[in-house]
Amino acid sequence: MGKQYTEITDDLKEWISRQKVFFVATAPLSASGHINLSPKGLDSFRVLSPDEVAYQDLTGSGVETIAHIKENGRLVIMFCAFDGPPKIVRLHGTATVVEPVHPRFDELAALFPERLGVRAYIILNAERISDSCGYAVPLYDYRKDRDVLDKWAAAKGPEGLVSYRKQKNRESIDGLDGLEHY
C-alpha cells in the first residue's frame, strides 16, 4: 500500500504539480502549544530539486506555520488526490522561512506568480518522502481557484498589508515569534 522514496522522483513531481490543494502541518515544542494544520492552494508550490520544495506563504490571519518553523524547523506537507487514482503523498523534513531580507527571496519569487500578499516563502528539505493509498479520500471536481485572498490583499495595498502583518503576524497564538520583516 504505502511506499517510501529516497527522493522526489520525476513521476512524483509531475503528480504533485497536478494537485490543486496541499496541507502543511507543524507543532510547537511545548506539549501545551497548539498544533497547526493549514490548507494551501493557488499556484503556490514548486519542487526545486529531488529533496527540496518551496511554497509561497501568503498573508493570513495567523502565523503558526512560520512561528513553529522558526522554533523547531519541523514541517510536513501533504497532498491527496481528489480525482484520478487514490493517492496521498507526504513530505516530512526541516523547513526554512524565507522573508524578504533572506538571500533566496528574489530567487524564489521568480518561480511563482507575482502576488501582492506574499509575506514569505517556505523551503522544505524533504528527509522522508512517502505515499499511501488514499482509498478513503473522496472524489471532488475542481472548478476554479478562489480569488478572494488576492482581492483582499489588493484592497489593503502594500502599506495596509504591512500594517496588518505587524498587528496579526508578529507572534503565534502561543506567543512564539512570527514575522520579523514586513
| Three-state DSSP state, 72 | helix
Domain ranges of the chain: 3-168
How much of the chain exceeds pLDDT 90, in percent? 97
Residue 26 cell numbers, joined:
507543524
Q: What is the dihedral of CA 43, 10, 96, 44, to 10 degrees?
A: 0
How many whole angstroms separate alpha carbon 173 and alpha carbon 117?
A: 21
pLDDT of residue 1: 64
Band (pLDDT 50/70/90 cuts) for residue 71 is: very high
CATH number of 3-168: 2.30.110.10
- The mean pLDDT value for 36-62 works out to 97
How many whole angstroms separate alpha carbon 117 and alpha carbon 38?
A: 17
Paired residues of 4 in beta bridges = 130
pLDDT of residue 47: 98
pTM value is 0.96
